[in-house]
Amino acid sequence: MTAERADGRHNRELVLRTAMRVFADDGLEVPLSRIAQRAGVGAGTVYRHFPSKDILIEAVLAEHVRGLARAADRWAGRAEPGEALVGLLLEAIEQSSGRVSVCDGLTGDKSWPRAALAPAVREFGRALERLLLAAQQAGAVRADMRVDDLTALIAGGAALRSAHRSRARAARLVRLLVGGLLTKEAAFRDTDPGRRHETRHCLECGTRLRIHTTGRPPSYCGPTCRQRARRRRR
């Protein structure tokens, strides 16, 4: 790859990452000139890669959806089928809650998904279907659930998290919503008092935590959520 092509690819990724943050923070009314300013590049660089705001929004959503597809594959490789599906749904809701304004802006536009976004949507749909089928075959998730039910659940959960004033209470409501997918057997195993640990969830993102009988129980799944909670309290 030539230095010119490498610089062009770097600038495109820089603009895309900046747009994801700016749209999430300030909504879709932000002009492209402000995105260029926040990215530290000229307006011509933005327009060279994204000739219109619609094209940039589509690229932002496609990158988001591809990230969810990668997350589905990660969950499939590190957890039991039912836990993998629930974990992916909670992560997808958390990641999507900051982009509700972007998604809402597309709701009334029947031309979506367009050519660039459609492959990412299909990729995520296939990954989600694999997780759902594995969870159903394991008897952990209701047999009448379909992929479109899960995508609607993600959209609804993201809207709930964005609307609630308390992140902790919103996370609890989302867990209750996602927990409705589980069969009685899976839900019973999750709360069985005879097990050597209890089940808790991260107060920031809702990820399930395993708490052993000794030691102080954690409140967060890791340093990222802990720091995010501290920043919000400040």
CA dist 86 and 215 (Å) reads: 26
* H or E stretch at 20: helix 3-26
Is the pTM for the entire model greater than 0.85? Answer: no
The contacts of residue 106 (CB under 8 Å, 6+ apart) are 57, 61, 112
What pLDDT is attached to residue 137? 95
pLDDT reading at 206 higher than 80 = no
85-118 pLDDT, tens digit per residue, is: 999 999 999 888 866 555 554 444 545 556 778 8
Which tops the pLDDT comparison, 59 or 210? 59
Whether the CB-CB separation of 28 and 101 falls below 8 Å is answered with: yes
What pLDDT is attached to residue 204? 61
Kindly tell me the sign of the dihedral angle through the C-alpha atoms of 25, 162, 184, 190: positive
Amino acid at 88: L
25-77 pLDDT, tens digit per residue, is: 888 888 999 999 999 998 898 989 999 888 898 898 888 899 999 999 999 99
Question: What number is the average pLDDT over the span 135-152?
Answer: 93
Helix, strand, coil distribution of the chain in percent, nearest 5: 70, 5, 25
Which residues on neighbouring strands pair with residue 201, listed in sequence order? 208
What pLDDT is attached to residue 28? 80
How many Cα neighbours within 13 Å face the side chain of 18? 20
Averaged pLDDT score across all residues of the chain: 80
